[in-house]
Chains A and B, each alone.
Chain A
């Protein structure tokens, strides 16, 4: 069964008296375990699309099914649970919690879900921080980190709950090619071993080359697969 399914999804932003159509009727299906890249020029609607799949925004029209559930019909509490347990989101602007240090930011979703013991939790947090190469920065605050380091914290936080779907909005944009490649490697490994579904947006051709499937969008509509 498809893990993500979009039907006639339209997203409009009111802008004063005008209405900006960011997405103009998207139909799309993503299967479990897929490694998909959404490509398109700036302003084409990549972020908007990921926000809808990631349940942090709502569509103006059309249906968005995530893990078989119609997100338009879920209560706020159910949507929040879906975000916590099924989804991991790496935002384009990272959105870390400024008052928490690296370790605490990564640990945050685990504390919210409350599924692990403190020992397990600490082990998992440290292993992920290790994977993104931030062991040295464990107790630093986001303000004390570079853009690339912040991005890596965001990646670790998205992966820490071992979600079924990971959404990443240009995850390598601020990384040097070496780090970028190792992050992609990590994701591919998770994809292989855990069957995690990955949905990326990027214009990075190096990243695209790793993808099994590339969906190109332009002006809010699917251009080609």
Chain B
């Protein structure tokens, strides 16, 4: 019975199917809000779903090169992103039942979509895709340090619990992490990191449509492209959820959950629509200075409190 339940949890709710749907809705919110900011009307609510159905119905072209890796990469990214969604959703539903050190698993799995992009781009043997892959690699190096430092700051704050459920429970008793000064600093830095993790505009050099024509995804069509778009959608749902667990875990009733989720999403969209793209070296310099410093200060402040 337990096994059936875990499979249900992974495949339907709160895992794969639910996260795909929520992610596509998040994509639509992104497109709609962007359109409204530019005084346009924007697409209807089912647009992202239609895009995916259309892509699934199209021909998949394999370039010369590693065919197996080429198609493996999008599956890898998509499955690990939805697994993260399942773990996060599970620990929100049952904070007492999360397994120990699941935070570390989540941190590793969150890295896999970026690795999948690098893998797929390299397998496609396209020169522009390899430029995209190298930029993605540099971007990972840039944002991963402040991201993990910010998470460590929150772990120290919840008296060293490397467990999502315990972090939520700690906030239940002592108030949301974001309300303290160190929590605010870590929150600011993690917002920038997630902007880069999601590949949104100031840090989207690896997918720059205008200069390297879709970059890493340039050779993907049909199924592969659909899976990469789905991975993006699921990440767009998971990352705000992750922020909510780490920083705003106090009131997790459905209404507040949705409000917080949309609020965080709108922050990302506003940053995306008001900033021009950074060159990769500028992005790296930025990440290793501002967010790293913010996260480091947050860690030190928390260590002092303890």
A and B from one assembly? no
